[in-house]
Structure 1
Amino acid sequence: MEMTQILPIIVGVVALVAGLIAGKFIFAKNTALRVQEAEQHAEKILSEAKLAAETLKKEKLLEAKEKNVQLKAEHDKEILEKNRKIGDAENRIRQKEQSLNQKTDNLDKQIKENETIKENLNRQIEVINQKRNELEKHQEEHIRRLEKIAGLSAEEAKAQLVESLKQEAHSQALSLQQEIIEDARLKANKDARKIIIQTIQRTAAEQTIENTVTVFNLESDEIKGQIIGREGRNIRAIEAATGVDLIVDDTPEAIVLSSFDPLRREIARLSLQRLVADGRIHPARIEEVVEKTRKQIEEQVMEIGERTVIELGIHGLHKELVRVVGKMRFRSSYGQNLLMHSREVANLCGIMAAELGLNPKLAKRAGLLHDIGKVPDEETELSHALLGGKLAEKYGENPAVVNAIAAHHDETEMQYVISPIVQACDAISGARPGARREIMQQYIQRIKDLENLALTYNGVEKAYAIQAGRELRVIVEADKVTDSDSEKLSFDMAQKIQTDMTYPGQIKVTVIREKRTVNVAR
């Protein structure tokens, strides 16, 4: 019984030991496998790390190369820019050297001419000295002869000798004086032609011929209907507010603005542009926009005047004269834009005055202002030259400038040297081929006379000549003119035009009277 109990215990111990040995063997085998797997995994990680390192190294090398290329390109670009600036500077220096060389050549020529004149004078002096010696010899001979003649005293001989010498010297002096005057005249004409030709060649001829129409382009023909309005009320409101004739015909996507006054056309064009962009087009809005545009144009006129005087280097000009200069942009003289003409005259005067050794700034100032009488704020009976002189004097201009403006059409005496220069430069600018059109100026003058005739009647507020002068629209003040007076006024104007003016075809006189009462609800 005891053996029976011990045997299972022994078997169990043996089995336990065998299990422990087997477990240890299995554990050792698993551990070896894990170690092997770990080594393989480590090798895989190392190989992947090496591969990633190589890839990263290549990427960095590529980035470095790209950066190097980019830096090199920027460096090359900087070098090219510096080389270009250096080249421009060299070109400017070369041009200045050429200009200096040309001026040096001109000075050399003038020096040579002066030396030639000096030599001529020396020769003439030698001739005079020679003549004087001959006269002295003749005088001695004459005295000896007189002494041989009986009955002549020394005083009588001396008197005859003096009289003879006076007559001979007088005749020789007259002859020499005539030669000197003729030589001076020829040289003066030559120098004058030279100065005028050089002045014209050095001034760029920028001509602007003014037209009487402006084309306003539209995005589509649908906008034409909005501009015309119901029964044409919008287009009538625009014409009444601006004094410009709107021609709406079959021309696609365009409206023609017709007026002899460029300032009115510009106001009408900008007003239409604002109205079309806003989309609200009705009579009240039209009047509001036209008024705002008119104020904007006034500011633009001042800006144009300031820019012009700055570009020409003219300083200290009165603000009113600056505004008048700006208004020249919207005026024309025989079809030639007045501002372009005045700028050209100013440049011509400056160059010509410098060539003659005068004050170029003063001459340029007079050249710019010589036609300010053509853009007066109020109509007057004075000519534009005299009116311009009065305006310049009113705003404190130099007396030489005032005289040059007033005398450039020979309506007053020229008292300063720059006055004939301004007159000559004005003629040069107007005489350039294609600069002016006589027919255009006659047409514009006829239109102005037509409007001024209407403004002479009492109660007339505004007058606009439209349809190329075939219609005169007169806006009267409702408080001063009744409906019956309007009919009589229209008839009287038509009769006055018929008797006092010359015109082609016929002119329609339309008198517009409108009474408005405005109150504000607050």
Structure 2
Amino acid sequence: MSVMILILSVLAAAGLTTGLIAVAWLLLSTRKNGNKIQRSQEEAAASVSNAQEEQRRILLAAQEEALRIREAGDQEIKNQRRELNRMERRHTQKEEQLDQRSSGLDHQESEIERRESIAQSALQQAEDVKEQHTRELERIASLTISEARDIVLKRSEDEASHELAKRYYELEKEHQLRADDNARRIITLAINRLATDVVSESTTSVVPLPNDEMKGRLIGREGRNIRALEAQTGVDIIVDDTPGIVTLSCFDPVRREIAKLALTQLVRDGRIQPARIEESVTRAIRDIEETMWKAATGKTCWTHSIEVGLLAGMLASEVGANVQTARAGGLLHDIGKAMTHEIPGPHAEIGYDLTTRNGVASIVTHCVLEHHDDEHSSIESFLVAAADGISAARPGARKESIEQYTRRLKELEDTANSFAGVQRAFAIQAGREIRVMVSPTDVDDIACASLARDIAGKVSQELQFPGQIKVTVIRETREESIAR
């Protein structure tokens, strides 16, 4: 490339020189007069001199450029040769490393073959020793290998049978525990879903009021109305900040129901005064004697049957049994109690006969018949019995503590009624107070204090009770006159 540039530069300079010479010759040949010819000659000579100077300059520049290009090419060639030498050295090193690795692999392969040979020899020796020991054992034990194998298998079978029986026992216990836990979970879920009031009407009742103003009218001036109602019924009347209700507390459900009926009538009528209270209580006593109900498990049979039906249905839904059958069996399980005053016999059998005669499904009638039995003909019958037990075992139902509590309050009232001059005695405040109503003609004001001390002394001597009991003797004097 540098040679071509040099040649082109020379040719360009030569062409330029030739052109200048031609121009100068033309000028000289056409010169018309001497001065013009002389000037032309001078100009031609100057042009030739300039052309020669330009030619030298161009040639010098071309030579310098060619020299620079050649030096750059030489440097590039040197760099390429240096890189080739470096790559050749690396290639040589890699070849040497590969040769070394190949030599190492050959050595390892030889070592492995040697060790395999040693292992094969040792294995063969072990087999020989094993065979020799086997023959020696057969000679000593007088048993063949098959006989020894049978003995070992028999022993292993016995051990395996023992382990299997042990494992079966453990699994059975584990499954029993899981079944118990699952049963508890199902019963707990059913009880939680039922969401019934476990605080039943065993000791308290609630009377709704139309407004809170009625509380003031119920209390009366200086509390005379509420005192009169408590004295007539023997029920503790609780008037608190709870809006719209008044709570009646008494261990005796009959007294509590009498007070509830009387108070409901007074609230409905709106006329609340001692004379009206006495009249309402008398009417409530007459009504309650006519409408006494049977009670079971601390509540009415109806609410108990509803609770058992709901519980049985929820238990059936948890275990996959027939929900409708379980509910029907729970609702009807105590229906025989409604006929026990007319038909002798257990209420379960009476209920079974009654439901059978009225066309109830056989599976439901058997739930009624078997709800107190240990054997059950269906899963629904078992669930009805379980629901009945759960309902009876709720807090406040069929508890010995309730019976003892009721008996203690009854004994407390009987102790007070045993004194002369006592008309009525009521245990209130959960047995922490006994209110004694005395005859004003038989007991005067001075004797009231002595009677209170005597009653307290007899209660302390004959009865056992926690804490202390307050004895209140009330003497009420009435004077009547007729206006004509």
- Give the TM bin, normalised by the shorter chain: 0.3 to 0.5
TM-score, with structure 2 as normaliser: 0.41
Bigger radius of gyration: 2
TM-score, with structure 1 as normaliser: 0.39
